[in-house]
Amino acid sequence: MKIAVAMSGGVDSSVAAFLMKSRGHDVVGLTMDIWSCRNRAQVDPRVCCGPEAIRDAARVAEALGIRHSIVDLRRAFEDRVVGPFVSEYASGRTPNPCVLCNRHVKFGALLAKAAAVGATHLATGHHAIVGGSSDGGGRFTLRRAKDRLKDQTYFLYALTQEELGRVLMPVGELSKDEVRQCARDAGLHVAERAESQDLCFIPGGDLASFLASRVPTALRPGPIEDLSGTVVGEHAGIALYTVGQRGGLGLSRPRATYVLRIDAARNALVVGDEGDLRARGLVADELTWIAGTPPGGTFRACAKIRYASPAAVCEVELSGGRARVTFDVPQRAVAPGQAVVFYDREIVLGGGTIRA
């Protein structure tokens, strides 16, 4: 088969390309160019698809003896990832750009490019496993990776059946140590390359300056209030804070204080004690389901409310395009704008965006 491999310049995607080549496929490497910023020298060299990463991907392709192309996806990335990211922060929510990038760019625009070059499938370096349904129903499943610490299914919950039928994720069956050893054995120079960093598109990692250049109104000072409505301080702009944040508040109080809520309409932060951060549930919308349909109108599942959090047992009730989630044990710092992803043990069911 002719396989396109999404090569980010990192060790995972490089090993994915190596594995596809070693299995006898006709392989072509595709690397996204997403950088619309003028000063590329400010870009962290460790980031996914940054200028240095593009050079690394080309060097790996040369070492493997496969063709390599750079795909200009700057407009798609700006429109589908950066724009919504900025808008969400300005609205007092905490977005997850990796979810948007995977949904609209990697498995949208890049998958279309793979088809355009005649590839039947797109292979990626994601730590996740694509498989068939256990009941033999002909549907594809998305399962958690062998390496639980590197599992990336949280970012992939919006994949459709059509996309899963055209996607390969060969490193999902390997631990990170095994991936690096495979790269060493193959003589790939990226074997020890550092992990990619979050917020890859922000020059210098300076979120405040980035948002100030895009939405200066989101950095207007405003009141910090406690749960009684008493003003206890002043914030520097709602876009600089997220639910659960403790540092950077500039408050002098006898006990630790956390952001509980961001009120964009009033340009205010509401703060309180750590105990006040715990919520029995949440409401989510923009729901998608791996199987194409949910497992039922009401069902039990485990839910992750952020990438690094453990999955929590819950009940999910669907109504009017929304999911009302009730946790068995209250969860800390549920942040509107983040994704909630539902699991049935190892299987990803689907997910949505937290609204409240």
What are the per-10-residue average pLDDT scores of the chain (356 residues)?
A: 95 97 97 70 57 90 96 94 93 92 94 96 97 71 96 97 96 97 96 77 81 89 95 94 91 90 95 94 97 96 95 97 97 96 97 96
Domain 220-272 CATH class label: mainly beta
Q: Domain-by-domain residue ranges, the chain?
A: 2-204, 220-272, 278-354
The per-residue pLDDT for 40 is 52
The per-residue pLDDT for 38 is 47
- Which residues, 6 or more positions from 347, have their beta carbon under 8 angstroms from its beta carbon? 141, 142, 143, 290
The per-residue pLDDT for 300 is 98
225-232 long-range contacts (CB < 8 A, ≥24 apart) are 225/268, 225/269, 225/270, 225/271, 226/270, 226/271, 226/272, 227/260, 227/270, 227/272, 227/276, 232/271
Architecture of the structural domain at 278-354: Beta Barrel (2.40)
Which residues are catalytic, by number? 101, 200
The CATH superfamily of 2-204 is HUPs (3.40.50.620)
